[in-house]
Amino acid sequence: MPHISCPGLQSEDSLFDKDGGPVYDSVTVLTGMCLFTRKVLDESVSEGFLDTRRLLGMPPTLYEVEKVAGLSSAIADIAALVFPKYDGKCHVPLNIILDLPTWHYYQSIEDRLQNRGYKPSEVMDWIEAIMLRSQQLAGVLKRAVLHELDRRGVPSSRRLYHIQISPESSLVDDAFREALKYEKLPCLDDILETLSSSQDGSWRQFYSLLPDRDKPQSIKDLSHLFYVFQVVRPALLAGIRSGKQPSPTESAYKDSTRSGERHHPTSGRRCGSKENQMPRPLVIGVDDRSERKIYSKAHSIFLKLPKSPTYPADPTLVQVYTPRRVFIDGNRKGERLYWNDPSPVMPVLSDGKAYGDGGDAEYSKYPRELQQIDFIAKLYGAECADNIQRWSKEVGLC
81 compared with 345, residue with greater pLDDT: 81
User: Quick check: is 343 in a domain?
Assistant: no
Q: Which pLDDT band holds residue 352 (cuts at 50, 70, 90)?
A: very low
User: Quick check: is 131 in a domain?
Assistant: yes
> For 73-116, how does the pLDDT look when each residue is reduced to its tens digit (9 = 90+)?
999 999 999 988 887 767 788 999 999 999 999 988 877 766 66
User: Quick check: is 350 in a domain?
Assistant: no
Enumerate the β-bridge partners of residue 26: 281
pLDDT at 178 over 50: yes
pLDDT at 363 over 60: no
Q: Count the domains in the chain.
A: 1
pLDDT at 223: 96
> For 245-292, how does the pLDDT look when each residue is reduced to its tens digit (9 = 90+)?
544 444 333 333 333 344 443 333 445 445 567 899 999 999 999 999
Question: Which range marks the domain in which residue 88 is found?
Answer: 3-9+19-242+275-324
pLDDT at 357 over 70: no
User: Quick check: is 339 in a domain?
Assistant: no
User: Quick check: is 362 in a domain?
Assistant: no
What percent of the chain is predicted at pLDDT more than 70? 83
pLDDT at 107: 86
User: Quick check: is 369 in a domain?
Assistant: no
User: Quick check: is 139 in a domain?
Assistant: yes
Q: Pinpoint the alpha helices (H) of the chain.
A: 38-43, 62-82, 107-110, 113-116, 120-151, 169-181, 188-196, 202-208, 219-242, 248-256, 292-302, 337-340, 352-355, 372-380, 382-394
Average pLDDT, rounded, for the chain = 84
Distances (CA, A) of 7 to 14, 215, 245: 15, 25, 26
Average pLDDT, integer, range 308-335: 86
pLDDT at 221 over 70: yes
User: Quick check: is 349 in a domain?
Assistant: no
